[in-house]
Amino acid sequence: MENWGIIGHEWAVHLLRQALEEGELSHAYLFTGPPGVGKGTLARALASALLCQGDPRPCGECRSCHLAASGNHPDLFWVQPESEAGRLKVEQVRELQRHLSLTPNMATHRVAILDRFDQATPSAANALLKTLEEPPDFVVLILLAPDTDSLLPTIVSRCQVIPLRPIPVPQIASALQTRWGVDAETARLLAHLSGGRLGWAVRAATEPDLLRRRQQRIDEMVALLRAPLTDRFRYAAELARDPEAAQEALDLWAGWWRDILLLAGGVREDRGGESLLTNLDQRACLEQMATRFTPAQVVARIQATRTAMDRLRRNANPQLTLEVLLGFDL
């Protein structure tokens, strides 16, 4: 399977494949990168390669590969917070440790993928440290998180870190067309909107609601810029009730302001003939807004939005965080 069937991240696949072939795999990996960039896909491919009974690994055809793909392999464990806004709890880590203390059932390894490990409670992270310090020989742990800053340094230092970067826009557009049958124009738009996160682009292509919600959030944000403070605070309170929607909205706003900066700053807005704008379909509105703000004002907005995103990721009070952001006057 070329590049383990993965789009992008060629260097990471090459590195892992070589380690696997030479029997030099680490006991613990940490894949970092924004949501939807492909951390889970790469983790699943590495797990399949480790558990596969065929050749070359992963063959995609043996019983192990099928069981791994359907999430039913007895030597593969996937642990994540129980809800979107929830934390990964110490009981979950303890249960995983019980499984990892037993010898493999079918394969030569037992593999555990710990998704969104930045959301592990301190006691869960501390419990996992024990396994990271003295893992059984047959165990490989794969931790997934947006960045290394969100984890305990003692966790990071015991893992081999594989930082996944956004995939180039043309590569995403072409994959959407060839693998998911998306038409060329939509593929180009989604590739831009995705910010290099293929997982997001595929979701947007298959869930039309995602694009509708995006349009709604953009309309709301444009209206909020002229709204009185009481309206903005009411909006903050509503958005705070749904932490996932809040992250999604902030992500969108950050991209929106970055586009305005691109247009207001008079910098070249294309590279190799491809526009650097994220919100390609909103050009008229963006251009109009670029005439209303100075680059310094736009930079301040981007910074404020990023600070709010960071605070939400670190489980700060959502309503307070959003009020600080939306209380900001230009």
Q: Which is nearer to Zn ion, 107 or 143 (CB)?
A: 107
Contact call for residues 48 and 68 (beta carbons, < 8 A): yes
- Least distance between Zn ion and beta carbon 198 (Å): 23
Q: Which is nearer to Zn ion, 105 or 315 (CB)?
A: 105
Q: Which is nearer to Zn ion, 13 or 143 (CB)?
A: 13
- Least distance between Zn ion and beta carbon 58 (Å): 5
- Least distance between Zn ion and beta carbon 140 (Å): 16
Q: What share of the chain is helix, strand, coil (3-state, %, to 5)?
A: 55, 10, 35
Q: Which is nearer to Zn ion, 46 or 114 (CB)?
A: 46
Q: Which is nearer to Zn ion, 59 or 285 (CB)?
A: 59
Helices 243-264 and 283-290 cross at an angle (nearest 10°) of 70
Strands (E), 14-159: 28-32, 76-79, 110-114, 139-145
State the residues that interact with Zn ion by CB under 5 A: 52, 54, 58-59, 62, 65
Strands (E), the chain: 28-32, 76-79, 110-114, 139-145, 160-163, 270-271, 274-275
Residues 6+ apart with CB under 8 A from 174: 187
- Least distance between Zn ion and beta carbon 131 (Å): 26
Beta-carbon count within 10 A of 264 CB: 22
